[in-house]
Amino acid sequence: MPHITGHTELVGLMAYPIRHSGSPATHNLAYDHNGDDVVQIAFEVDEKALPAAVESIRALRMLGSNISMPNKQAVLPYLDELDASAEMAQAVNTVVNLRGEDGTVTGRLRGYNTDGMGYWKALAEEGISAQGKHLVLIGCGGAASAIAASGAAEGLASVDFFNIDDAFFMAGKALAARMEGATSCRAAVHALGDRELLREKLLEADILCDATGAGMHPLEDLCNIPDASYLHEGLVVTDTVYVPSETPLLRLAREAGLSRVYNGTGMMLYQALTAIKLYTGKETDAAYMREKLSL
């Protein structure tokens, strides 16, 4: 339990609903372990309350706030500046109250998206980088956008998105155009129903990521890859889902004998550790966090 004093500094978490979140437990464990007099508190903030809640970061001289659904896009107009990959993704999950030369907060708010940064940091821990790689990404939603934008900023050569025919498909097209405008990464969006193209792209891909929630309630039985003939031995197979720890896709890859198969636990941990570093400037010991949080 953190010891709260008159000097304790505040990090928020603004979302609705939010009471189920594991974020405060993660952040407060890290601040405690790092010896920082900082606490994170979750606030129920919907889109109506968002403008005043963001203004409170300035008024209360908070270090910043994590932002989750439904506020990741809605927060953009209230910020002063955006990190390049948050700009590309058009989504923010971390607002930092920038510090001045004397180290105190200035009230100038910069938005980041550490979901994507966290995904690539988790892969970096396994010795896998984005540099020059071809990514097949199933989904064009919030998680997929963050992963693609951050990967493009880190040097991905190409991304092929595959999406069902819903509103995210057109959003994916706009994202692909922003990625191609801002980086040298080639990006295209295809119909998930085009199995032949999916197979063709997968057979030449380095990394597959499913960012649709397939395998998690209410899509627990869904696997977007029809069978193991779509996978090849060198493919890195990843899923943003971490509950359950093994989705049907990850099981398919493991049973096909692939050795580099990862769920979303590392992404979840590293999105938090990346945000913590942005607030306090400190690296957190990931092994300690994994042990204490049983990840």
- The catalytic residues are 72
Q: What number of H helices and E strands is found in the chain?
A: 10, 12
- Which among 268, 281, 214 is positioned nearest to 244, based on CA atoms? 214
Whole-number Cα distances in Å, 254 to 30, 220, 246, 265: 32, 18, 10, 17
Per CB under 6 A, the list member of 84, 216, 223, 295 interacting with ligand NAD is 216
**By the 8 A CB rule, do 92 and 75 touch?**
yes
Q: Which residues pair with 41 in a beta bridge?
A: 12
Q: State phi, psi for 193 to the nearest 5 degrees.
A: -70, -10
Q: Which residues pair with 163 in a beta bridge?
A: 191
Per CB under 6 A, the list member of 111, 116, 151, 213 interacting with ligand NAD is 213
Per CB under 6 A, the list member of 9, 83, 115, 154 interacting with ligand NAD is 115
Nearer to ligand NAD, 268 or 275 (CB): 268
91 belongs to the binding site for ligand NAD (CB under 6 A): no
47 belongs to the binding site for ligand NAD (CB under 6 A): no
Dihedral sign, CA of 174, 176, 179, 181? negative
Nearer to ligand NAD, 64 or 215 (CB): 215
**By the 8 A CB rule, do 148 and 120 touch?**
no
> Residue 225 CB: number of other CB atoms within 10 A?
23
Which residue shows structure tokens 């913590």?
276
Per CB under 6 A, the list member of 92, 109, 136, 140 interacting with ligand NAD is 140
250 belongs to the binding site for ligand NAD (CB under 6 A): no
157 belongs to the binding site for ligand NAD (CB under 6 A): no
139 belongs to the binding site for ligand NAD (CB under 6 A): yes
148 belongs to the binding site for ligand NAD (CB under 6 A): no
Per CB under 6 A, the list member of 125, 166, 200, 204 interacting with ligand NAD is 166
User: How many residues touch ligand NAD (CB under 6 A)?
Assistant: 26
92 belongs to the binding site for ligand NAD (CB under 6 A): no
240 belongs to the binding site for ligand NAD (CB under 6 A): yes
Joined tokens for residue 173: 């097209």
Contact residues for ligand NAD (CB under 6 A)? 115, 139-144, 163-164, 166, 168, 211-214, 216, 219, 222, 224, 240-242, 264, 267-268, 271
